């Protein structure tokens, strides 16, 4: 939907199947959406990023709360750093 509104969208997921589906659909609709297979927790945020949308990712369960909190802080830091340049 964001791609259809004219936004450049980059989706990151570990699922090759899901990313292939996204890329095929984006090509079919001729929208600026690109799926990348990668570890989202390590993925760098490009300087031209305006916002990050996390869909069905964070659960803050006891065994992952530190990892997920660090991930959110990384996103906030990298977005802020990109906007200050």
Say how many C-beta atoms besides its own lie within 10 A of residue 66's C-beta: 10
End-to-end CA distance of the chain: 29
Q: 48 and 85 share a domain?
A: yes
pLDDT number for residue 84: 60
Q: 82 and 52 share a domain?
A: yes
Q: 37 and 62 share a domain?
A: no
Rounded CA-CA distance 36/80 in Å is 23
Q: Which domain holds residue 14?
A: 1-41
Digitized pLDDT (tens) for each residue of the chain, 85 residues in all = 899 999 999 999 999 999 999 999 999 999 999 999 999 998 988 878 888 888 888 888 888 899 999 999 999 888 876 566 5
pLDDT number for residue 61: 84
pLDDT number for residue 32: 94
Name beta bridge partners: 11. Answer: 35
Q: 52 and 25 share a domain?
A: no
């Amino acid at each position: 939907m964001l791609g259809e509104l004219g936004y450049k969208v980059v989706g990151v997921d570990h699922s090759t199947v899901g990313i292939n589906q996204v890329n095929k659909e984006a090509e079919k609709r001729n929208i600026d959406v690109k799926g990348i297979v990668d570890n989202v927790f390590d993925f760098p945020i490009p300087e031209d990023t305006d916002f990050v949308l996390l869909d069905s990712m964070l659960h803050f369960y006891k065994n992952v709360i530190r990892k997920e909190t660090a991930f959110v802080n990384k996103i906030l830091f990298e977005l802020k750093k990109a906007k200050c340049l």
